[in-house]
Copies of this chain bind each other. A is one copy, B any other.
Amino acid sequence: MSKSLDRLTLLETFVRIVEAGSVSAAARDLGLSQPSASRQLAELEARFKSQLVVRTTHDLSLTPTGAELLTDVRQLLDQWEALQEKYLNTEGEVRGQLKIVAPVALGQQCLTESALGFQQHYPQVALSWQLQDGNIRFAEAGCDCWFKIGPVTDSTLVVDSLGTVERLAVATPKLLAAVPTSPRELETLPWISLVPFEGDRIPLSHPSGQSVTLSPAIRLATNNIFALKQAVLAGAGAAILPKWFIQNALQTGELIDILPEWRAPSLTVNVAYRRGRHQPLRLRRFIEWVTADISSLFDE
C-alpha cells in the first residue's frame, strides 16, 4: 500500500469514477491515464480494506459499503471545498463545475435562459446542463442540484420550494363547439394526458372550495409535454397544462383557458441539493440566481 497518494485525491477520484460510470471516463475527466485512475481506486479500497466498486466489463456498480461511503465522502469533500473558498483569497470568485438536472420542459422553456445568464455572469463556472424527466438517483448521478416538479422523496436531500405552478384545462377554439360553463361539460371532449401527472381522472377545483373529478375518455397519453402540447394545438383534444408552459399560446388565442374559474391541483416546483452544511459558493449563487430569475413565473 503506497503512502503518499493524497487522501483527498483518492476520494475525489472515487467520486468521479462513480459519477462517470467508468474508470476510463473518470480518468479522461481528471486528466489522468486510465491505469492511474484504476490504481487510485484500488488504493482506496486497500486503505479501507473493503471493496467499494464492482467492476464488470461494461458496467460498474457500487457495493453497499461503497454507496454509503460515497455520501459521506461527498460531505467531506464539500467541507474541504468550503475551506478552500473561505481561506483561499479568491475574493468571492465563483468557479468550478456545476451539474444541474432539470425536467426537460422546465429546463428547455424557463431555466435555460436563466442558466445562460448565470453562465455569462460567472464565466468561470462550467455548467453541465442535464434535462431529464423522472426521478434520478441523485447520489450516484453526481449532480449538484436537481430541479423537480412535485415532491422530492429522497431524505438525503434538502428541498427548497420555488413556487407553485397553476394548471388549467386548455383546448383549441375549434375543438370547443360551444364554450363550456361547467366542468361536467368537459367530460364529453376528447382528452390528452401527461402520464406522470394525470391518469384518467382529472380533479378540478373552484376558488369557492367546490371540486369535481372528471373521468373523460383519454384519447392520447404521453410522457412528453411537448408532444402533448403539439397534439392539443392540432386539435386532438383538451388537456391539463401548466400555465407557464402555454402562456404564449393563450395570449395569441391558439389555446383557450376553457374554464377560467377552475384549476387542476397545482404542483410545487422544487430545487433539491445535497444535505450538508457546506454548499460550494457557486451552487449557492446558482440557486439564488435561478430563484430570483424565475420566481416571477410561479405563484408564491
Given contacts A4-B4, A5-B6, A49-B89, contact A76 B79 (CB under 8 A): yes
Once the chains are docked, how many angstroms separate the CA of A6 from the CA of B8?
8
- Is A65's beta carbon under 8 Å from chain B? yes
Known: A7-B7, A7-B80. A87 touches B65 (CB 8 A): yes
Q: Which of A67-75, A154-162, A221-229 contacts B (4 or more CB under 8 A)?
A: A67-75
Partner among B69, B72, B80 whose Cβ is within 8 Å of the Cβ of A76: B80
Contact with B along A1-38 (1 / 0, CB 8 A): 00011111100000000000000000000000000000
Say yes or no for A195: interface residue by CB 8 A criterion. Answer: no
CB distance from A7 to the nearest CB of B (A): 5
Bound Cα distance from A60 to B88, whole angstroms: 22
Interface string of A42-73 (1 = CB under 8 A from B): 00000111100000000000000100110011
Q: How far is the CA of A4 from the CA of B86 in the complex (A)?
A: 22
Contact in complex: A48, B87 (CB < 8 Å): yes
A83 interface residue (CB < 8 Å to B): yes
Q: How far apart are the CA atoms of A75 and B276 in the complex, in Å?
A: 13
Given contacts A6-B6, A72-B82, A75-B79, 4 further A-B contacts (CB under 8 A): A5-B6, A6-B8, A48-B88, A73-B83
